[in-house]
């Protein structure tokens, strides 16, 4: 979607109007029945429009060679509202949105001078991130990791936005931002310690301005907002970006972060990766309006971007970060993408979604899309792709070797640093745990 009406010409959306004459004529049974029926899930309205295959948000993402098209989404009010998706590269690899009179010209400016080398760099980042992710998934299946949250399908959203950040910007991730971590220079093997259970995060957040992974859903949005408020007080011109998913957008922490950021004009960008599923809950069970439109209610701009288009994600995130650095306040980016795999390795998506839905999104694969563009524009040859394949194999091998060589943690470290001066109860629990561990040695005759 393009920038919301809060950032442009003020306009009352259809969803903010009265729900129609049936909502006000409460004097008749027919009117009451109509109003109740319209509100039910599955009735014509916002939820129906959001269903896979229906006209609406998901259909808007299925753009072809002609680029992002304007579609009509039926709102809860029964009215039609224009829906757009910022897209600079179609699934077929065609560059669009570059004309001066294009609806996306203001964003396209931020990648107008991108070089072939930088485009190859985006492609390399996505390929290597996907390979790392695949290795981590395999290692979990082999019992080497306790859990893994795959980013499969979301590489463009993460690499595009990650490469838009400056070194002095600060990033607050969730637990799936492996591609953003890659862009910030975090060794991918350091991400695996927490999932193996040997540490609480294997990197220093201040070394890369990349915070530790946050498991608590949505809380990092508040952390990012508070940090951004501090940036303003320090007089710095850097920006902060917070990542979260469509499921986290339903958390109160995220709404509170929006409000604080707006009131204090904090230099923070909220980057929502809408991968269509909050574990097993689909979008239509979470919201009745596109997520990016929530920004309007808080008084800052919201943009929906094609989350499978690395170029568009790079451009829109650069736009949002630069306006934040200029003191223009927060922005919300909704990267419309798809989680191709399971929520985590403990999840089975076949229980709640259909294969044809996944197949439709496979046709919009972010890596294949950029490769088609590189090949059609003669920006990359077989030599480049061959070298990258070899680099990918080497990365996979290194990940396997490093994970299997990780030392087990000190079993008693959990009792350290609980209290600054120690505590009798902690001492008692430590002694009980020591006796428990000793029982195994006794049973084995050691």
Other residues' Cβ atoms within 10 Å of the Cβ of residue 436:
10
pLDDT on residue 73: 33
Distance in angstroms (rounded) separating the CA atoms of residues 377 and 383: 16
Is 350 a residue whose pLDDT tops 70? yes
What's the average model confidence in pLDDT over 399-427?
A: 92
H, E, C per residue of 180-215:
HHHHCCCCHHHHHHHHHCCCCCCCCHHHHCECCCCC
Indicate if the alpha-carbon torsion angle 152, 406, 167, 124 is positive or negative.
negative
Paired with 243 in beta bridges are 271
Find the helix or strand (DSSP H, E) in which 319 lies: helix 310-325
DSSP 291: G
DSSP 99: S
- For the ranges 97-101, 104-108, 332-336, 410-414, the maximum mean pLDDT occurs at 332-336
Q: Which residue has the tokens 């902060």?
A: 240
Q: Which of 210, 219, 190, 216 is nearest to 202 (CA)?
A: 190
pLDDT on residue 446: 58
pLDDT on residue 445: 65
What pTM did the predictor assign?
Answer: 0.78
Q: Could you tell me the pLDDT band of residue 312, with boundaries at 50, 70 and 90?
A: very high
Question: How far is residue 20 from each of residues 35, 90, 287, measured CA to CA in Å?
Answer: 9, 38, 20
Long-range contacts (CB closer than 8 Å, 24 or more residues apart) made by 407-411: 407/198, 408/198, 409/197, 409/198, 409/199, 411/437
Q: Which of 189, 215, 183 is nearest to 202 (CA)?
A: 189
Is 311 a residue whose pLDDT tops 60? yes
Is 160 within 8 Å of 118 (Cβ atoms)? no
Paired with 67 in beta bridges are 64
Look up residue 234 and give its two tokens. Answer: 């320090």
Is 151 within 8 Å of 178 (Cβ atoms)? yes
pLDDT on residue 22: 36
Percent of the chain scoring above 70 in pLDDT:
80
Other residues' Cβ atoms within 10 Å of the Cβ of residue 432:
10
Give the model confidence (pLDDT) of 115-156 as tens digits.
999 999 999 999 999 999 999 999 999 999 999 999 999 999
Is 163 a residue whose pLDDT tops 60? yes
What's the average model confidence in pLDDT over 173-197?
A: 95
More confident residue, 388 or 283: 388
Indicate if the alpha-carbon torsion angle 209, 211, 217, 220 is positive or negative.
negative
Q: How far apart are the first and last CA of the chain?
A: 65
Q: Could you tell me the pLDDT band of residue 352, with boundaries at 50, 70 and 90?
A: confident
Lowest mean pLDDT among 157-166, 335-344, 418-427: 335-344
**What mean pLDDT value characterizes the chain?**
82
Q: Could you tell me the pLDDT band of residue 354, with boundaries at 50, 70 and 90?
A: confident
pLDDT on residue 359: 85
Pairing type for strands 281-282 and 277-278 reads antiparallel
Is 150 within 8 Å of 347 (Cβ atoms)? no
What's the average model confidence in pLDDT over 167-185?
A: 97
């Amino acid at each position: 979607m393009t920038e919301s009406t809060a950032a442009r010409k003020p306009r009352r959306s259809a969803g903010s109007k009265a729900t129609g004459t049936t909502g006000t004529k409460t004097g008749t049974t027919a009117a009451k029945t109509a109003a109740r029926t319209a509100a039910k899930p599955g009735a014509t309205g916002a939820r129906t429009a959001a269903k896979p295959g229906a006209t609406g948000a998901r259909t808007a993402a299925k753009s072809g060679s002609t680029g992002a098209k304007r579609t009509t989404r039926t709102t809860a009010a029964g009215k039609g509202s224009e829906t757009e998706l910022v897209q600079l590269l179609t699934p077929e690899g065609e560059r669009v949105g570059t004309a001066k009179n294009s609806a996306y010209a203001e964003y396209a400016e931020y990648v107008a001078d991108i070089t072939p080398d930088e485009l190859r760099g985006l492609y390399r980042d996505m390929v290597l991130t996907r390979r790392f992710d695949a290795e981590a998934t395999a290692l979990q299946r082999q019992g080497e990791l306790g859990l893994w949250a795959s980013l499969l399908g979301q590489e463009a959203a993460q690499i595009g936005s990650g490469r838009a950040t400056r070194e002095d910007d600060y990033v607050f991730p969730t637990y799936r931002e492996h591609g953003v971590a890659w862009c910030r220079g975090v060794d991918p093997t350091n991400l695996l310690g927490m999932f193996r259970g040997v540490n609480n995060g294997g990197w220093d957040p201040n070394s890369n301005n990349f915070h530790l992974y946050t498991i608590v859903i949505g809380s990092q949005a508040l952390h990012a907002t508070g940090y951004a408020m501090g940036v303003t007080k320090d007089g710095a011109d850097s920006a902060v970006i917070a990542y979260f998913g469509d499921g986290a957008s339903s958390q109160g922490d995220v709404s509170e972060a929006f409000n604080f950021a707006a009131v204090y004009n904090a230099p923070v960008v909220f980057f929502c990766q809408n991968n269509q599923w909050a574990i097993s809950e689909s979008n239509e069970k979470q919201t009745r309006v596109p997520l990016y439109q929530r920004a309007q209610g808080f008084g800052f701009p919201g943009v929906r971007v094609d989350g499978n288009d690395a170029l568009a994600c790079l451009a829109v995130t650069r736009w949002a970060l630069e306006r934040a650095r200029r003191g223009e306040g927060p922005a919300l980016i909704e990267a419309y993408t798809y989680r191709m795999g399971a929520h985590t390795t403990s999840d089975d998506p076949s229980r709640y979604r259909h294969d044809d839905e996944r197949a439709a999104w496979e046709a919009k694969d972010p890596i294949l899309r950029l490769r088609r563009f590189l090949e059609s524009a003669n920006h990359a040859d077989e030599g480049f792709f061959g070298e990258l394949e070899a680099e990918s194999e080497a990365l996979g091998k290194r990940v396997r070797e490093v994970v299997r060589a990780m030392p087990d943690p000190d079993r008693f470290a959990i009792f350290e640093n609980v209290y600054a001066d120690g505590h009798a109860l902690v001492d008692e629990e430590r002694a009980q745990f020591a006796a428990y561990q000793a029982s195994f040695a006794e049973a084995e005759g050691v």
